[in-house]
Chains A and B, each alone.
Chain A
Amino acid sequence: MIITRPDHDVTTNYLYHWSKPLISAAGRRHKVIDLAKKRANASELASIIKKVGPTLIVFNGHGDESTVTGFDNEPLIKAGKNHGILKGSTVYARSCRSAKILGPRCIRSRCRAYLGYDDDFVFFIEEEKITHPLEDKTAKLFLEPSNHVVISLLKGHSAGDSNSRSKELFKRVIQSLATSSAPRESADLVPYLIWDYIHQVCLEEPHTFR
């Protein structure tokens, strides 16, 4: 598994820390190449992909419809430029909107599967936990279910199945917050969790699974 973890602003700092459980989950069974902080750059990524031919690539960072970015928002993969380097790999991009244009382009170029978001990926943070992201129980509501995509892939589940399992976890969190016994303030996070649930997609040939 190759994982990119830039860490140059609050959002990427949270994703950087919340990717640690993924590296732990890979354990000894999977070789992990951790492109953390400044190593999350386009040239190093291209070089590593060419060298190891990874089965799984996980991107954390910002992005748009046709791009996922790394450290300091440098484009790592851009549709029409270098998306072909993902050929043969399963990709999970925890970034905004890249499943809209980049994902389908990757699938057409024989990427095995592209999991990501066809609109913005949103999450809440607690201001007082900003220096300890893994202790942030609000962020956990969003980032643990999204982590479950990768956890499931590492366990050997198919891309479509991993997406479903992650979404099941999202739904369990949503339903637990929506009950009358949950604190009112938690219930107000439900619209944002539903948003991530709806926009997390798995693209594969010949079908697209929502």
Chain B
Amino acid sequence: MTALKPKPSTIQEDIRKLVIARLRALPSGRKISIGSDGEYTADELIERVKKNDQVGKKIAEIQLQYLRSLKEGFLLPQ
């Protein structure tokens, strides 16, 4: 019997949900400056992630890199 593997599209959707959940935790009254396009509130970032545009993809990349860095022990004392 072979184990069921999740479809790539399911993984993408799960990642998107995770990123949106993390963005919802961002404090209000703050904006992020990213790239040349301007500054974004958490709500605006969530919309960008849902649309999966360039800014949304970058935010997802930042969150995934964070998770990878945790796995690699970035925050552990040297």
Which residues on the A side are within 8 Å of B58 (C-beta)?
120
A194-B33 contact in complex given A9-B38, A10-B38, A174-B75, C-beta closer than 8 Å: no
Interface positions of A (Cβ within 8 A of B): 9-11, 14, 62-64, 69, 73, 96, 120, 122-128, 138, 174-175, 178, 184-185, 188, 190-192, 194-195, 198
Given A174-B75, A191-B63, 18 new contacts (CB under 8 A): A11-B39, A14-B33, A120-B35, A122-B32, A122-B33, A122-B62, A123-B32, A123-B33, A127-B31, A128-B29, A138-B30, A188-B25, A191-B22, A191-B62, A192-B32, A194-B69, A195-B66, A198-B65
Q: Chain B residue with minimal CB distance to A193?
A: B66
Q: Is the CB of B31 within 8 A of A191?
A: no
Taking a contact as CB atoms closer than 8 A, the residue among B36, B38, B74 that contacts A96 in the complex is B36
Interface string of B44-72 (1 = CB under 8 A from A): 00000000000000100011011001000
Asked if A126 contacts B30 (CB within 8 A), the reply is yes
Q: Is B34 positioned at the interface, with any CB of A under 8 Å from its CB?
A: yes
Contact yes or no, A62 B36, CB < 8 A: yes
CB-CB < 8 A to A96: which residues of B? 35-36
CA distance A128 to B31 in the complex (A): 10
Q: Which residue of B lies closest to A183 (CB)?
A: B27
Contacts of B74 in A (CB 8 A): 174, 194
Q: When the two chains form their complex, are residues B30 and A127 in contact, meaning their CB atoms are under 8 A apart?
A: yes
- Using Cβ atoms and an 8 Å threshold, which residues of chain B touch A195? 62, 65-66
A102 to chain B, nearest CB (A): 15
11 sampled A-B residue pairs with Cβ under 8 A: A10-B38, A11-B38, A69-B36, A122-B33, A127-B29, A174-B75, A175-B75, A185-B26, A191-B65, A192-B62, A195-B62
Nearest Cβ distance between residue B32 and chain A, in whole angstroms?
5
B62 to chain A, nearest CB (A): 5
Name the A residues within 8 Å of B30 (CB-CB).
124-127, 138
List B contacts of A64 (CB < 8 A). Answer: 36
Q: Which residues of A contact B66 (CB under 8 A)?
A: 190-191, 194-195
Nearest-neighbor residue (CB-CB) of A127 within chain B: B29
* A59 CB → nearest B CB, Å: 14
Which of chain B's residues have a CB closer than 8 A to the CB of A123? Answer: 32-33
